[in-house]
Structure 1
Amino acid sequence: MHGSDGGWGFGMGLGMWVFWIVLIIIIVAVVKVISQGSGLPPQDKSPMEILKARYARGEIDEEEFNRRREELEKP
């Protein structure tokens, strides 16, 4: 049977649920994109920590690591 609102018992309730779910998904997606930023490493790490992490990930070889380490250790 039809409900008093002319629908099948869901009325605006189901539509409002769908609206809020879609809105929340959009907000989460926007926050995720903004939080990724420019892809730069977080600035709370020292240059030496960043260099060590890059070497550990294999982004630079030992020779490059040592060259850059020496540059960073210069007074």
Structure 2
Amino acid sequence: MDVMDGMDGMGGMMLWMTIWGVVGLALLVGLGVVVVRLVRRGDGAREVPRGDSPEEILRRRYAAGELDEDEYFRRSSGLRE
């Protein structure tokens, strides 16, 4: 009977180790989610201020090199139509 009592104690210990492992993993995942959201929120500084016309936004993107010449002229003619 003493051997069985020792197994029950180890089983209980394994249960608590598993529970704390899951809790620790959940905390790490939660921390990762918070960090990713904070980093993405920091990208908001690059957002275009409200009130700029579509033509101004297009000119700014072309000047920044985000659009090539063909894309710029295609989009600007689409805005004028």
* TM-score, normalised via structure 2 length: 0.47
Q: How far 1:65 sits from its partner (Å)?
A: 1.7
Greater Rg, structure 1 or structure 2? 2
Q: When you count helix as a share of all residues, which structure comes out higher?
A: 2
> What corresponds to 2:24 in structure 1?
23
Tell me which moved more, 30-39 or 16-25. 30-39
Alignment length (residue pairs): 56
Give runs of aligned pairs for residues 1-75 of structure 1, distance below 5 A: 3-5=4-6, 7=8, 10-36=11-37, 37-39=39-41, 40=43, 64-73=53-62
2: distance between equivalents of 1:4 and 1:72? 72
Give identity over the alignment, percent.
Answer: 12
2: distance between equivalents of 1:16 and 1:71? 56
2: distance between equivalents of 1:72 and 1:6? 68
| Backbone CA RMSD of aligned residues | 3.5
1:34-67 deviations in Å (ceiling 9; x for gaps): 12225116xxxxx8xx87xxxxxxxx79x72212
